[in-house]
Amino acid sequence: MEVVQVPVLSDNYVYLAHDGDETAVIDPAVAEPVLAAAAARGWRITQILNTHWHPDHVGANLAIKEATGCQIAGPAGEASKIPGIDRAVADGEQVAVGGAEGVVIDVPGHTAGHNAYYFAGAGVLFCGDTLFALGCGRLFEGTPGQMHASLAKLMALPDATRVYCAHEYTQANARFAVTVEPGNAALAERVVAIDAARASGRPTVPSTIRLERATNPFVRARDVAEFAARRAAKDAFRG
Ligand code: ZN
Ligand code: FE
């Protein structure tokens, strides 16, 4: 499976996932650059996969469906809030892009019905606003316990899994992470690489499960209470 990253708005990433003669769009905030990226490669958009209902993830559902006739799959728990949804999917259900098989992982916390899409053969995870590089989503609709459990599910995926999250928040996340674990050498090394990437205009996404496990203060919290304290501290952090 080939993945193309389309930066849109101030810090969103929309993804094209292509395999065989099919192309999926993950979380289309806007239509034009996404349609252009597909057209430039001669790819036909056949489906949209939404991780959650927030407007910066579903904003172009109807425009892309209108332009391509694609099918839309989104979280069953938020189906009434997903524009143009054709298929509501929940934990353990299969999705496929060409010959690439994926599975839905239910990861509530940022929103109540948030989905992630994991393509095991390709080693690719689309996790929306649940897991970020060095961060995690804000708890708009869920509890710390839910998000802690959701992150634990994602951390059980293979080390080499590439983590395609929906925002370029990494540098701000890094400023907080180093206050939590000032003595973490892997984190310090990662921060240098992040700053270099951003200074030259390169993305810091995708990450990997291995890298998050070693450096992300939210997935490294020992229990729900420590996770909750870190999430609250990050919400209040002005770095
Ligand atoms: Zn969101
Ligand atoms: Fe978002």
* Known catalytic residue at 110: yes
Find the 187 Cα to ligand 1 centroid distance in Å: 25
- Rounded to the nearest integer, the mean pLDDT of the chain is 98
Q: Residue 179: how many CB atoms within 10 A of its CB?
A: 12
Which residue do the tokens 């180093």 mark?
A: 178
Helices (H) and strands (E) counted in the chain, each on its own, are: 8, 14
- What ligand has the least distance to the C-alpha of 109? 1
Find the 119 Cα to ligand 2 centroid distance in Å: 21
* Known catalytic residue at 54: yes
Find the 183 Cα to ligand 2 centroid distance in Å: 30
Question: In terms of pTM, does the model score above 0.75?
Answer: yes
- 165 confidence band (pLDDT: 50, 70, 90): very high
* Known catalytic residue at 114: no
- What ligand has the least distance to the C-alpha of 56? 2
Which range marks the domain in which residue 117 is found?
2-236
Domain count for the chain: 1
* Known catalytic residue at 129: yes
pLDDT tens per residue across span 120-133: 999 999 999 999 99
Instruction: Indicate which CATH number applies to the domain containing 129.
Output: 3.60.15.10
Helix (H, G, I), strand (E, B) or coil at 140: coil
